[in-house]
Amino acid sequence: MTAHANLITDVSTMVSDFYADLKEHNASENVLLLVFTEFGRRVHDNGSGTDHGSGGLLSCLGTK
C-alpha cells in the first residue's frame, strides 16, 4: 500500500473513532467536522512531481 493510501486509511479510522466517541456521549448531532487540505496540487507533472496548485479538498461531516 502506498504512503498516501495509508494516510487516508488513518484519517478514515480517526474520523470513525471520533464519531463513535461522540455517539457514546450523545453529542454526535451537535458536531460538524470540517476536514481540509493544506494546499492543492496541479494535475500536470513538472518532471519531478507536481507543484502546489490552487485547488484542494474540503469535506464537512456530520450526522444530520
- Domain range for 35: 3-61
Q: At a CB cut-off of 8 Å and minimum separation 6, what does 11 contact?
A: 35
pLDDT tens for each residue of 14-46: 999 999 999 999 999 999 999 988 777 777 777
> How many domains, the chain?
1
pTM: 0.69
What pLDDT does residue 14 have?
96
What pLDDT does residue 56 have?
78
What pLDDT does residue 51 have?
74
Tell me if residue 1 falls in helix, strand or coil. coil
What pLDDT does residue 13 have?
97
26: DSSP letter: T
C-alpha span between 35 and 13 (Å, rounded):
14
What pLDDT does residue 11 have?
93
* Residue 8: its H or E element: helix 3-24
